[in-house]
Amino acid sequence: MISGPSGVGKSTVVAGLRERREFGFSVSATTRPPRPGEVDGVHYHFLGPEEFEERRRRGWFLEWADYGGHRYGTPREPVEAALAAGSDLLLDIENQGALAVKEALPEAITIFLLPPDRETLEQRLRGRADTSEADVARRLAVADRQITEARRTYDWLVTNDDVDAAIERIDRILAASERTP
């Protein structure tokens, strides 16, 4: 599992990892609207709040959380199917979800992607066309909390100071875990 604050570069790092290794990728569900260029079923399963809640009640999610005024969740079936087939699977989820998955699947490897510093994270968030000043402030406050929690709860912390270097560090972590029972 790879987690990290909004704006840290998770999607970019995950895309780079997918070029290096073969693994399944769990497409999360969300109640937030799609950003420009996002495709339903590829980037996220975009659900209305009522549909998300119905699926949550039916146990459709392995984990779910409220984040940034929207709900996010990991569909259970693709994860269980990949694990049953002996396949590696990558989850890109936030802290609360990562902890829930780690509780359900203790063998899961958890990696938290850190920004080089708070100023860089703030610049990245401000550079997004879809992020208001109020949203930047809220996301930074959430990031501060996530980083504090991550230092206590994740198996690995990787700083995304250089995308290629971060991808290389995570690739080495994954390679080492393949050799260690």
Question: pTM of the entire structure?
Answer: 0.83
Contact 82, 89 (CB under 8 A): yes
Rounded to the nearest 10 degrees, how much is the dihedral formed by the CA atoms of 172, 177, 180, 181?
-170
Average pLDDT rounded to a whole number, residues 5-15 = 91
pLDDT in tens, 153-162: 899 999 999 9
At 179, the pLDDT band (50, 70, 90 cuts) reads low
Bridge partners of 61? 75
At 26, the pLDDT band (50, 70, 90 cuts) reads confident
The reported pLDDT for the residue numbered 156 is 96
